[in-house]
Structure 1
């Protein structure tokens, strides 16, 4: 039975706990993971949050869901995209600004996809992000943008972004300040309302604030 209220626990935190569980229990490639219900009980999170976390791992090719069978650990080494992109960057080095602009293309697309998809707009993720950004607790910039990319559901875009983010030495490092939080909240509200233009405009303002903080 689904929980009455969605968990406020950030699902990226659940992703980290899932990875620890896989490592600690020595779950091997091809082996089955515990069910959503069991994971929810063991990790102290709602079923919907667990589902989002599993979805993010599946987008990265780390697990695979087989209809009627369950969720299984994938052989990530079979996914060659990261190796191909890494080799390309090494052979054709780009300036950090080129890399950052390419990241922004993927980020804008994720914001647009999230705004246009009714099911994505209904995810408890947005309420979790709103609660976190509205609180007095630190909010990592990278967590916010990564949550949006995962929610958008474009596996290829997500993998490219991960590689570029590492190459650019994590341009979203650090915590969002008050001005950034305001832009982030506006972006989230626009996404939930299906306002793609408003969401992109808020994203652009936030990206500019982050760039300003980096001194670019």
Structure 2
């Protein structure tokens, strides 16, 4: 098997581990990108991508003119700022949540008609792994399993153009799934996992209406926690 994990993702995992082990404690300023890239033995473009991922996850925050700091989640959480996300110069986060609502709702309807028992097993495994990753505070793995869940639902469409469109906008959709909502809404992760299981149940019973409704509820609730109403 060939390891196809992007370098930036491996770097993000490495830095997350350093933060969790206390080598980069809460409130500490990270070394400059030049120094950190040298320390980790990676290119600066890969490091920058990793840092953007970690910032979206809420583990670090960059202050212009001051540097990048490890976020201290023991202090009062900040309200989500949907204007500061990575693609803000192209689209508002609300735009992407609206696309998710329209696209993923229909994809869930198709999946209710097309999903096999093997597909249901894949979705259960992804949700279980997502829950386990959150329990050990592996935010990167948590989001990877969340993305795997939604991408697998999308792959079961009977309309290949819908699945292709999902893949074309997947980077934007994924960024909304990396928002640090659990740090600002402490019960959200448990609710999100329960919503995944409701989607699975609807797919298992081949109830297209229930699958669409469950997916809509899941996306709307996530948007609400990000400060967005759709």
TM-score after normalising by structure 1 = 0.49
TM-score after normalising by structure 2 = 0.46
Higher relative contact order (CA 8 A, sep 6+): 2
